[in-house]
Amino acid sequence: MAAGFGVAALGLFGPTDPALTGPWRGRGESIRPDGVPSTVRYRRTDDRWMRQLSVDMVLNRLEQIPMTPRTLWLGSGSPQRRAMLREAGFLARARPPHLDDGRLAPGDVGPEGWTLALACWKARAVAESLRAEGARGVVLAGDTVCTHQGAVLGKPRDRDHARRMLRSFRGATHPVVTGVCLIDLDHQDEQAFVDVAHVQWGSVSDEAIETYLDSNNWVGRAGGYNLADRINDGWDIQCKGDPATVMGLPLRRLTPMLEQMALSTLEKGSR
């Protein structure tokens, strides 16, 4: 779990339960590792309770509890982004914006401005629909593009388009740009930023590319590939910067922002 998140932000980004508030917030009951509530209370500085639990045990327990109005809304249908958040310690609910950005073109806008504009467009669309429902929490949306040889490359249209993208990357370095927008529904705050990582490709054979194309894992991915998958598969690829930026969420910068928003919400909500 992200540093400090389990202590400070559990009440915002994920379901809450009185049985879970004892060790983290100094009141209520605690739960034993078997999930049974216990009336035994520990002080905040007493970590005996926490030592009995694994991260998976806590997350599995939380996912069994209904969501509260305060939650982290992911403005995307991407299973990868949601999985990345979970691995970083954040439970999120998917809320795709249902906007068709495939027909849009950046025109004279650079990749950083383009991804930032799309991320904010998605986040604001989701925030508007959630406000209409009276929902609370924080909306997170992002957009990722590759840039190469002066062109902005989004998701490949088809197999041939993906093949051309992948072949063009060989023996070169290309930037990957991810724009992020966060909207706090409770306090009308909005924050946005862009992060850039550089991916260096070595030699990748045509045969390896064709085998990869057969898997269809290129579908829906900016630049037609997933960085971690290709590195794990032995491709000669290196990343300078945050690898998570290439995969769709710049967690090095995003994690402390989410934690701070969670702390801010808890502090404001307790006044």
- Taking alpha carbons only, the member of 139, 108, 87, 124 closest to residue 247 is 87
Length of the chain: 271
Active site residues: 143
Neighbouring residues of 19: CB distance < 8 A, sequence distance ≥ 6:
28, 29, 30, 31, 37
Each as own residue / partner, the long-range contacts of residues 264-270 (CB below 8 Å, 24 or more positions apart, any chain) are: 264/184, 264/187, 265/12, 265/70, 265/138, 265/184, 265/186, 265/187, 266/8, 266/9, 266/11, 266/12, 268/186, 268/187, 269/186
The DSSP-derived string for 228-263 is: HHHHHTT--EEEES-HHHHTT--HHHHHHHHHHHHH
Four-residue CA torsion sign, 248, 250, 251, 257: negative
Q: Cβ-count burial of 60 within 10 angstroms (0-12 exposed, 13-18 middle, 19+ buried)?
A: exposed
- What CA–CA distance (Å, rounded) separates 52 from 31? 10
Distances (CA, A) of 36 to 4, 15, 24, 40, 43: 25, 17, 17, 12, 19
